[in-house]
Chain A
Amino acid sequence: MAHSTDAHADNHGHHEGEFAHPASIRMLLTVFTILVLLTLLTVYQSTLDIGDMEIWLSLGIATVKASLVILFFMHLLWDKPFNAILFISSLIFVSLFLGFTLLDADAYSNKIELKDTLAESMKPEPAPEAPVTPTGMGASR
């Protein structure tokens, strides 16, 4: 793209009026068609019995769809690289957050026993929760 690759303020001034880049209609329609086809595909694959692979397959299809939206509809492919870096860094921080939290939860999951709240669930109307008297204090730094 002819566009300046940096957000430096001193790059302003030249290229006046050249920051609009209308997308072609054909491109928009093509992307939309692919997105709809992928949606149908993901609905179809959910009916297949492929066990644990299923979630990864459906997430994979979702990621392809999401990338199409980001790259073409959101124009990231032609945008300033800084904006792309921003968006990708947000995903990196999300994976950091999810990664550590899930790593920890997975590591102590064998110490957790799921409680049975069945009886409560069978009551037609939920009983109002009785407030418990305060006891301990949350520990924190």
Chain B
Amino acid sequence: MSVSDVTHHETGHEHDDHSHDHPEWLAHHFDDAEQQFDSGKLGMWLFLVTEVLFFSGMFCAYALLRSQSPETFAFASKFLNEKLGAINTGVLLFSSLTMAWAVRASQLSQHRILVGMLGTTLGCAAVFLGVKAVEYTHKWGLGLLPGSLYRAQGVPSNEDHAFGELSLIYMCVIPGILAVAFLIWWLISLVKKDRVQVEIAGPLFLAAACFFGGVGLGRYLESGEAHAEHADHTAQHDSHATELAAAEELHTASPVAATAVTEPVLNAVTQAHPDQVAPPKFEGVEDPKVNQKGRAGLFFSIYYCMTGVHAFHILGGMVVLTWLIVKAARHEFHSKYFGPVDNVGLYWHLVDFIWIYLFPLLYLIG
């Protein structure tokens, strides 16, 4: 690339004597800026290698489970909202763009652009988590839980929307507190005309606010979907109820069989004949037995593991992005010292890299 010529004008420290006269951004045990940069970058690439192998375990489990029962995956992934997945993919891709731009800005000492780009990246991360929070809590309300906690779908009493709503509120508490705190900090520093603090608090407040933007977006899109799903379920209730009753009549002469499907009945059924309960039927699903803990439950296990670990990586990325914003607002980066921005950028792109695979593997099946 012919871009390297732009860097010559930067802080030309001539330090012939390596052990003394180090500029403050150069650690004592490095000889020069390039050695420091190369070490940091190599270290980050090695860390990314460990990340790839860390995630590979879950991809391996995914492949095993999917090959073991592909129809389960086709069934269970219908409960994931493709639109939300696609929007989150777009958000992460955009954040990757702004991150890459931030690296460029740091190399060119464009301090304002750098803070802006880092802030945008942080905001995108918050939107992503906001959407994710809606997705998670919506599923929790439906009983779409991992493994042993999974509750069969299509049984009305199993749905506990209040639980989902409540957990969404809990999830909003910390971002809410942060948003208020950052807003106050921002306003104070605006009044005090402290440029550095304004440049730190502003992006942080906007990022925290972005979380709620993500939540709103998620709820808007999820609610449409939820209605459709709900209608779908209720349409099946009749057939489901008869099915269940029939199954029971076959195996017991219990009088409760004739009553409508209510919780106690279900309990009675499952306790009396745990092995012979007929599953609720779903349109387009050949084998309704996929709707159980040991099948769809496993899909949601791997779904929560993969996206959950990924979300923790987003959270970690947000912490280091905040640290970068602080440093960037203090104008600490320039063409000889931009390693931290570059390395956080590498990490951030890797998180995007993982999501690029998660999206089609989890959302776009069948």
A74 to B275, CA, bound (A): 53
Contact check, A124 vs B158: say whether CB atoms are below 8 A apart: yes
A115 to B295, CA, bound (A): 9
Contact of A119 among B4, B48, B277, B356 (CB under 8 A): B277
- What 0/1 readout, one digit per residue, does chain B (143-165) give for beta carbons within 8 Å of chain A? 00000111110010110000000
A141 neighbours in B (Cβ, 8 Å): none
Quote the shortest CB–CB distance from A27 to chain B (angstroms): 9
- Could you list 16 further interchain pairs (A-B, Cβ under 8 angstroms) beyond the known A20-B4, A114-B295? A9-B35, A24-B3, A31-B97, A32-B93, A32-B94, A43-B364, A46-B360, A62-B356, A94-B52, A97-B57, A102-B60, A106-B67, A119-B277, A123-B270, A124-B157, A126-B148
Q: A87-B48, A90-B53 are in contact. Are A46 and B275 (CB under 8 A)?
A: no
Contact check, A23 vs B3: say whether CB atoms are below 8 A apart: yes
Which of chain B's residues has its CB closest to A46's CB?
A: B364
Q: Can you list 6 A-B pairs with a CB-CB distance of less than 8 A?
A: A17-B33, A20-B336, A28-B97, A69-B353, A114-B295, A124-B157
A22 neighbours in B (Cβ, 8 Å): 3, 6-7, 103-104, 107-108
> A: which residues have CB within 8 A of B?
1-2, 7, 9, 12-13, 15-25, 28-29, 31-32, 35-36, 39-40, 42-43, 46, 54-55, 58-59, 61-62, 65-66, 69-70, 72-75, 78-80, 82-83, 86-87, 89-91, 93-94, 97-98, 101-102, 105-106, 109, 112, 114-124, 126, 129
Contact check, B56 vs A98: say whether CB atoms are below 8 A apart: yes
- On chain B, the number of residues with a Cβ less than 8 Å from chain A's Cβ atoms is 89
B79-101 CB contacts (< 8 Å) to partner A: 82, 86, 89-90, 93-94, 96-97, 99-101
Contact check, A20 vs B356: say whether CB atoms are below 8 A apart: no
Quote the shortest CB–CB distance from B283 to chain A (angstroms): 16
- What 0/1 readout, one digit per residue, does chain B (1-24) give for beta carbons within 8 Å of chain A? 101101110101000000000000
Q: A-B pairs with the 5 shortest C-beta distances? A: A119-B274, A46-B364, A58-B360, A121-B292, A90-B49
Is the CB of B41 closer than 8 A to any CB of chain A?
yes
Which of chain B's residues has its CB closest to A94's CB?
A: B56
Is the CB of B45 closer than 8 A to any CB of chain A?
yes
Contact check, B349 vs A121: say whether CB atoms are below 8 A apart: no
Q: A23-B103, A62-B356, A114-B294 are in contact. Are A35 and B346 (CB under 8 A)?
A: no
A59 to B291, CA, bound (A): 26
A32 neighbours in B (Cβ, 8 Å): 93-94, 96-97
Contact check, B151 vs A121: say whether CB atoms are below 8 A apart: yes
Contact check, B45 vs A83: say whether CB atoms are below 8 A apart: yes
Which of chain A's residues has its CB closest to B77's CB?
A: A46
A133 to B97, CA, bound (A): 55
Contact check, A66 vs B353: say whether CB atoms are below 8 A apart: yes
Contact check, B356 vs A65: say whether CB atoms are below 8 A apart: yes
Quote the shortest CB–CB distance from B351 to chain A (angstroms): 10
